[in-house]
Amino acid sequence: MKHLMKPLKIVPALLLLFVLSSCSSVRVATDYDREANFDAYKTFAFFKPGIDKAELNDLDKRRILRAIEAELMAKGYIKSENPDMLVSIFTKSNQRVDIYNNAWGYGAWGWGGYGGWGWRSGWNNNQVSTSTEGVLFIDLIDAQKKELIWQGSGTGNLETRNMEKKEARIKEFVSEMMMQFPPEKK
């Protein structure tokens, strides 16, 4: 019986860890041009006109660009004045509204408005939570053709006043997206 109790004690801790880690995750999506020959791209540079349009402060832009540069260089790409590929970014923000219905307690018979008479649950405790979710887009553009060849987007909450946490969160966004570049050959 003791050997069964140990795993049962670990399950709640693992469940809590899973819930906490899933709350902070970045949702990633990527798309790419199936006709592009990704093996041909060896060098990159940042596309300043596109980056200048991103609605971010300059500090966050630099954090994002450093993270992208580190990811590309780790994959063997070289930063160049005469690049094969241009890198641009842009952002969007969405207002997220979550409504939690925490109905609990004893129910009772009663009038339910349009629903007429019937059983109604006890103390309804609706809670509304709003937060701003940011979406970071990374565009990779064929430098010769000036055509988009790959796009990654990462969605999640970025707001934090702690600069170290913010920098780590930006690296997480970029890393999760760039994990899917270049696309796997089929």
Domain definitions of the chain by residue range: 27-107+121-178
Residue 118 in this model has a pLDDT that exceeds 60:
no
Give 8-17 pLDDT, tens digit per residue: 444 443 333 3
End-to-end CA distance of the chain: 51
- E strands within 47-171? 78-79, 85-101, 108-111, 117-120, 126-142, 147-156
pLDDT at residue 115, as a whole number: 56
Sheet strands side by side (includes 27-32): 27-32, 147-156, 126-142, 85-101, 43-46, 78-79
Give 79-116 pLDDT, tens digit per residue: 999 999 999 999 887 666 667 665 555 555 555 555 55
pLDDT at residue 162, as a whole number: 85
- Per the model's pLDDT, the better-predicted residue between 25 and 3 turns out to be 25
The second-level CATH assignment, the architecture, of 27-107+121-178 is: 2-Layer Sandwich (3.30)
**Distance of alpha carbon 94 from alpha carbon 98, whole angstroms:** 13
pLDDT at residue 55, as a whole number: 86
pLDDT at residue 159, as a whole number: 67
pLDDT at residue 17, as a whole number: 35
**Distance of alpha carbon 84 from alpha carbon 141, whole angstroms:** 9
Amino acid at 35: E
pLDDT at residue 15, as a whole number: 35
Answer whether 118's CB lies under 8 Å from 84's CB: no
Give 40-56 pLDDT, tens digit per residue: 999 999 999 999 998 88
Structure tokens at 34: 């199936």
Structure tokens at 21: 């880690």
Amino acid at 5: M
Answer whether 44's CB lies under 8 Å from 65's CB: no
Q: What percentage of the chain has pLDDT greater than the value 90?
A: 50
Residue 185 in this model has a pLDDT that exceeds 80:
no
pLDDT at residue 93, as a whole number: 72
The chain-wide mean pLDDT, for the chain, equals 79
Q: What is the pTM of this model?
A: 0.69
- Per the model's pLDDT, the better-predicted residue between 141 and 8 turns out to be 141
Residue 68 in this model has a pLDDT that exceeds 80:
yes
DSSP symbols for 12-62: HHHHHHHHHHHHTPPEEEEEE-TT--GGG--EEEE-HHHHHHS-S-HHHHH
